[in-house]
Amino acid sequence: MKQSVVISYPHLRIRQEVEENSHTTSNTDETTDSNDNESNDNTEHGEENENEQQIDVKADIREASIVEDDFSDSFECYDIEIEELREWALLGNPAISHFRLEALLKILRCRLLPQLPRCAKTFLGITSNYKIKKFDNDEENEFIYFGLSNHLQLSVNPELHEGADTIYLIINVDGVQLFRSSSKQFWPILWQVDCENTPYEPFPVAIFSGNRKPKNLDKFLEDFINEINELNINGLLVDNRLFKISIKAFVCDTPARAFLKKIKGHGTYWGCERCMVHGEWIKNRVIYPNDDSEERSDESFRQQTNSDHHTGV
C-alpha cells in the first residue's frame, strides 16, 4: 500500500513516498516442519523488505511549489495591499467609521490577511499626544485641549480665500448631556471657518467633561484665548500664505451666553442683555415692562456700570 506523507516547512514543502509492504504468515495450524520452513522463508522475505524500505530522502525531495524568494515577494505584495487598504479607509468625507473598519478587519483576518491588527486606530497608525487634565480639583472633571493651529492648517483651502488676509472663525460653546440616567455632560468649544457657501465642518477646540458645567471659566478658556491672540498677532501660514485669524462671532444659546459673559440669566431682574431695564415679577414670571431704558455698550459692559447684571469679572 502506498502512503503519502507531507511535511510542511515555512518556505518549503517536502513530500516523501513511503512504500509499506505488509506480509502475513501462513496459518499456524499447519505442521511443525512446514511452520519452520515458512518461518525461514518469512525471515528471508523480512530481510529483503527491510532492504527495500531503506529510502533515500534526498532522492524523494520534490522541488517546492513556493520558493523562498516567492514567499518574501508575497509578503511584499501583502504590504502593498495593506497600505492601499489603509489609504482607502482614510478617503471620503466622512471617512469610514472605526466601528465598521474593525468589522472589515475581522473578516480579512480570518483567511486573507491574518497579520492585520484588530484595532482600527492601530491599523490607521493614529497616535494621540493630547494630555487629559483634571479640572477644578475634582477627579471626575476632565479637560482636553486639541488646539487650533494644526487643524486650521489641515482644513483651510487658500483658494477659497482669494484676496483675503484674515480668516474669521465662528465659535460655539454649549453643554451636552450624555446620558438620561446620569448628570455626566460635555462642554465643548467648537469652531468653524466663516466662508460663503462654506464647505467647512465644525471642529472641537477643547472638551470639558464633568457632572456640571465648569466652575472656573478663566481656566476653561485660558488655552483657547492664548492661542487665538497669538494667531491674531502672528498669523498662520497655510500653503505659503500668511493669514491672520480672528473671531467673527460667538453663536450660543441664552444660558451659554450668560455662562461665557458671566452675567445673570435671562429669567432674572437684571437679565436683559440689550438694555439696563429692571424686570418686574408679574403673574409668576419676570417681565421687562418698557423699552426706553439705557442700552448697554461695550464700554459700559467692560466697566460693569450695571453691577447687578454681572456675576464676575
160 grid coordinates: 477659497
Taking alpha carbons only, the member of 293, 251, 298 closest to residue 272 is: 293
- Count the alpha carbons within 13 Å of 286 in the hemisphere toward its beta carbon: 12
Region for 6 from its dihedrals, namely left if φ exceeds 0, alpha if ψ lies in -120 to 50, beta otherwise: beta
305 grid coordinates: 456700570
Region for 284 from its dihedrals, namely left if φ exceeds 0, alpha if ψ lies in -120 to 50, beta otherwise: left
Q: What is the pLDDT of residues 174-194, one digit of tens each?
A: 998 888 888 899 999 999 999
59 grid coordinates: 532522492
**What's the DSSP call for residue 265?**
-
What contacts 109, CB < 8 A, 6 or more positions away?
116, 118
Q: What is the mean pLDDT of residues 245-272?
A: 91
- Whether pLDDT at 147 is above 50: yes
Q: Are 246 and 232 in contact (CB under 8 A)?
A: yes
Burial of residue 257 (number of CB atoms within 10 Å: 0-12, 13-18, 19+) = middle
Amino acid in position 309: H
Task: List alpha helices for 142-253, DSSP H.
Answer: 149-155, 217-234
Regarding predicted confidence, which is higher, 15 or 43? 43
Q: CA-to-CA distance for 175 and 209, rounded, in angstroms?
A: 10
Q: Give strand ranges (E) for the chain.
A: 2-8, 13-19, 132-135, 138-145, 166-173, 176-177, 185-193, 203-210, 236-238, 241-250, 280-281, 286-287
Q: Are 243 and 156 in contact (CB under 8 A)?
A: yes
Q: Are 235 and 208 in contact (CB under 8 A)?
A: no
Q: CA-to-CA distance for 8 and 227, rounded, in angstroms?
A: 62
Q: How confident is the model at residue 113 (pLDDT cuts 50, 70, 90)?
A: confident
Q: How confident is the model at residue 302 (pLDDT cuts 50, 70, 90)?
A: very high
Residue pointed to by grid coordinates 501462513: 26
Regarding predicted confidence, which is higher, 246 or 39? 246
Q: What is the mean pLDDT of residues 5-25?
A: 41
Q: Is the dihedral of CA 271, 274, 276, 279 positive or negative?
A: negative
In percent, the amount of the chain with pLDDT more than 90 equals: 32
Residue pointed to by grid coordinates 476653561: 220
Amino acid in position 46: G
Peptide bond into 117 cis (omega under 30): no
Q: How confident is the model at residue 161 (pLDDT cuts 50, 70, 90)?
A: confident
- Whether pLDDT at 217 is above 50: yes
What contacts 118, CB < 8 A, 6 or more positions away?
102, 105, 106, 109
Taking alpha carbons only, the member of 212, 221, 146 closest to residue 185 is: 212
Average pLDDT value over all residues in the chain: 78
SS3 at position 225:
helix
Q: How confident is the model at residue 65 (pLDDT cuts 50, 70, 90)?
A: very low
